[in-house]
A and B are shown apart, each in its own frame.
Chain A
Amino acid sequence: GPHFISFLASPSALTGSALFFHYTWRRNCSSAVMPRITSHYTIFPRDKDPRWEGVEMERFADEADVVIVGGGPAGLSAAIRLKQLAKEQEKELRVCLVEKASQIGAHTLSGACLEPSALNELFPDWKERGAPLNTPVTEDLFSILTEKYRIPVPMLPGLPMNNHGNYIVRLGHFVHWLGEQAEELGVEIYPGYAAAEVLFHEDGSVKGIATNDVGIAKDGSPKDVFERGMELHAKVTLFGEGCHGHLAKQLYRQFNLRENCEPQTYAIGLKELWVIDEKKWRPGRVEHSVGWPLNRNTYGGSFLYHLNEGEPLVALGFVVGLDYTNPYLSPFREFQRWKHHPFVAKTLEGGDRIAYGARALNEGGYQCLPKVTFPGGMLIGCSPGFMNVPKIKGTHTAMKSGMLAAEAIFPKVTAEDPASETAGLHIPEYEDNLKKSWIWKELYAVRNIRPSFHNYFGLYGGMVYTGVFYWILRGKEPWTLKHAGLDSAQLKPAKECTPIEYPKPDGKLSFDLLSSVALSGTNHEGDQPPHLTLKDDSIPVANNLAIYDGPEQRFCPAGVYEYVPLETGEGMRLQINAQNCVHCKTCDIKDPSQNINWVVPEGSGGPAYNGL
C-alpha cells in the first residue's frame, strides 16, 4: 500500500476538523498537558465522531461455507482437513482463510521440536510432499545452570521433555509448506488481511468476520485512501489466532466461555537464529536449561536446537513465565545475559545472529481450557490453548484440534438441512471429540506440573513434583492443582522490589533492544492509529509508572513502550512506538492495570519472520 510514501515523506499534519477533535487533557493537580495517545475507533467510536460524517461505511460482503481466522498450524490443518473430506466425499465446500501477516509463516515463531503425531494423521505421505522436517532429534540434553556451572540432568525416557522421535523444525517454513498444501487443495488463502471484527446475526450467533479498514490517519480521521474492510460470512467461523487472540478475547466475554475454567496463564518466549562456527555445530542436538539467570521463584528456561539444513544454524531462545513478580525484570535482558553463560557462549562464539523475534505462549494447560464452541463458531489451536507445557510443545495439539474441528464441522456444513437453532451453526460435537482425543489425555496427564512450581522451593519443588508424580504416576494423582491467578495481578509494587543490574550488551553475544527489533523485519504503516489501545490514556502514568515503575518498558520485547519526559512542565508521558510491535501480545497479558487492549493493525503489518 502507500506505506513507503509516508515512511519517506513527513508525518501527516493535522488540519481543519482534525485539529478541532485533537484534544489534550490536563491532570487535576498539575499544569502539565498530556498529548492524547489513543485514537482507535474501538475506543472512540466513529458514529459519534464529526470527522466521519458522510463517509461511506458500507462494506462489500461475500459468503463462504467456512471462514478461518489465522493461518497457523491450527487454522491450516482445519482448512486442509475440510478440503480432504470434501474431496473424499465429492462435495463442494468454499473455505476462506484470512491471515494478518503479509505471507503465511511471517508471524510464526516457535522453538521448535515438532512431534509428528498430528502430521502423520493429516498427511501420512508428508515426506514425499516435501514437508520441511529435515532434522531428527539425535541428542537431548537438560541442564540446571548456576552462574558459572552446569548441572546435567539425565533425560530419562518417560520424562515429558524427552524428544525421541521428534524433529527440530523452523516452524515458519513448516507453516508455509502447510499453506502450499492448503492452496493445492483449493483453500482460498488471503495473507495481508486481518480479521478485525466479529459479525453477529440478529439471534446473537456469529455470522463471520470483517477485515480491517485501511487508510485511517494516526489521529483517527479518514485519509483520501480510506477504504472499508470486507465482510466474510460463513455457516461457521473458526478462530485460530494463536496465543491470546484479540477476537477470542471478545468472544470469551460475549459467550461467557470462561465461566468454568481458570484464567489463562502465559509466558513470553524470545528467540534468535544464529549461524555458528561449523566446528561447534551438532545437527540434531536439543538443549534445554533451567535455573540461571532466573531465581528459583521465576518460572522459565532456555532452549538451543542445532538445525540440519545445510548451514550451521542454531535456533535458541528464552522463556519467562509471565507470573513473575518483580516489575524490574526484563525478559529480553534475561535472554541476552543467559547467552553469556560459559556453556552457551562456547557454542555462539564466532557466530552471527541473523534473526530475532518474540511471542507469548500459553502455560495454563488443562485447568485453563475454556468452552470452545458457541453458536456460529469455535476456537482452535493455541487460542483456547492446547500447549503441553512441560513438553514445551503445542504444534501437534494445535494441528489436531484444527483437524477435529474440521471433522465435526464437515457433516454439518454439507448437510441439506443443518437443523440448527441459530443462523450460525453451533457444533458442540467438536468439544466432545476433543475430550475423547489424545489431546485431552495428554493435557490431563501433565496438568499439575506447571502449578507445582508455586511452592516455597519454586523451581526445585516443581522438579521434585514432576519426578515423583509425573514420571512415576503419569499424572494419575486424583487432585488438580490450581494456578496462581491472573498474570497481570502478580506484580509487586516497585518500592517492594529490587532493581536488577543487567550487564551491558557486548555487541557480539548480547545485543541492545533496537538492533534486535530491526532484525525482526517488523514494520507498520506509520500513519494509522496505534493498535495498542488504552482504555484510559491517563492510567499509564498514574498507575503503571507511579506504582510499578512502568514495567511495560521492560516486558515489551520490541521497545514499543517508553516513558519520556514531557516537553513542557514536569513529569513523564507514555510514548507508544506502535511501528515496532512484533504482535507478541505480552503487553495485553501483563499490564497490571489491564488498560492495554491490543487490536489488529492494518493487515500485512508486523514482523517479517523467515523460518522462525
Chain B
Amino acid sequence: MSRVLVGVKRVIDYAVKIRVKPDHSGVVTDGVKHSMNPFCEIAVEEAVKLKEKKFIKEVVAVSCGPTQVTETIRTALAMGCDRGIHVEVSGKDYEAMGPLQIAKIFAALAKKEEASLVILGKQAIDDDCNQTGQMTAALLDWPQGTFASEVTIDGEKVKVVREIDGGLETIKISMPAVLTADLRLNTPRYATLPNIMKAKKKKIANMKPADLGVDMVSRVEVLRVDEPPTRLAGVKVETVDDLVAKLKANGTI
C-alpha cells in the first residue's frame, strides 16, 4: 500500500480583478483574496478518492511559500488529506519561485517520502506554466500521465486517459509516476466546517528547501509586468467600399 504526494498552490482567486504594482515588478497581492488553485483542488480530490477506494494508504498535501500557504494546506487536510508539509519560501525567493524550483522540491520529497504517486494540477491559474508536473517526472525519471481526465489503478500500473488536442489518449504507465489533473477528472468536494475543525488537529510539518538539498536560485528574471493593452473600440462602417477604404487607410491592405 502506498503514499501519494499532492501539490497545492495558493493563488489569487480567479474572480478578482488583477492590478499591476505601480513599480511594474509584479501584481498586487497584499490583502487580495487568495484561494487554492482550482486544478490543485481536483488533484486533492483524486488523491482522496484513491484513498477511499483503498488503492493508497496516505495522502500528503505539500505547498511551497510563506506562512499564508498553511491555510491552503488546511483546506487540503479538510478535504481528506492525512498530513501536510509546508516548505517555507518567502521574500525574494518566493517572488522568483517557478516550476523548476518546485519540481526540484517535489522530486526530493517524493524520494524522501517514498511516494508511489505525485499528483499535481495541470497548471496554476496565475502563471499558466503547465511545467511543474512534467519537470518533476523528468527529475525523478518517472513516467508521467498529464492532462488526466480519468485515472485507474491496475496493480502496479496506472491507466490514464489524457485530454489532448485531437481527443482522448489512453496510456498505461508504471508506478511510481507523476500525474497532472485536468478539468474533467472529478468534481472536488467542499471543505466543510466540521472537517476544517478536524483538520486543525492534523499535522503540518515545516521545512526549508535547503533541508531537502534544493537550491532556490532562479535562472529567470522578470523584467517588467504590464496590463494588457486596453481594447480599442470597434468602428462601424456603412458600406463595403467604406470598409475597403478604411483597411487601405490603416495599411492592412
Contact = CB atoms under 8 A, between A and B. Distances in A.
Interface stretch (B28-36, B46-54, B138-146, B158-166): B28-36
Contacts of B13: 102, 521, 523, 608
A521 B193 contact: no
Taking residues whose C-beta sits less than 8 angstroms from the other chain, chain B's interface range is 20 to 34
Contact of A211 (B189, B191, B193): B193
Which of B31, B188, B190, B191: most chain A CB closer than 10 A? B190
A608 B190 contact: no
A8 B193 CA distance: 26
B94 interface: no
B31 A7 contact: no
Nearest to A223: B187
Nearest to B15: A523
A603 to B, nearest CB: 8
B58 interface: no
A608 B192 contact: no
B31 A225 contact: no
Contacts of A611: 31
A103 interface: yes
B76 to A, nearest CB: 13
A225 B33 contact: no
A1 B31 contact: no
Contacts of A1: 41, 188-191
A106 B41 CA distance: 22
B249 interface: no
B193 A190 contact: yes
A225 B187 contact: yes
Contacts of B30: 610
- For the residues of B in contact with A, the DSSP-based class is loop
B190 A62 contact: no
Contacts, number: 81
B190 A225 contact: yes
Given A4-B38, A608-B13, A608-B15, A62 B187 contact: no
A572 interface: no
B212 to A, nearest CB: 30
Contacts of A2: 41, 187-190
Given A1-B190, A106-B33, A608 B41 contact: no
A230 B194 contact: yes
Contact of A608 (B16, B19, B196): B16
Contacts of A98: 193
A610 B190 contact: no
A608 B32 contact: yes
Contacts of A105: 31
Contact of A522 (B15, B189, B194, B197): B15
Nearest to B197: A62
21 contacts: A1-B41, A1-B188, A1-B190, A2-B188, A4-B41, A7-B14, A8-B183, A102-B33, A103-B33, A105-B31, A172-B31, A190-B193, A211-B193, A215-B190, A354-B19, A518-B17, A521-B15, A521-B16, A608-B15, A608-B32, A608-B33
Interface of A: 1-5, 7-9, 60, 62, 98, 102-103, 105-106, 172-173, 176, 190, 193, 211, 214-215, 224-225, 227, 229-230, 275, 311, 354, 518-519, 521-523, 608, 610-611
Q: 5 closest Cβ contacts across the A-B interface?
A: A523-B15, A4-B38, A608-B33, A610-B31, A1-B190
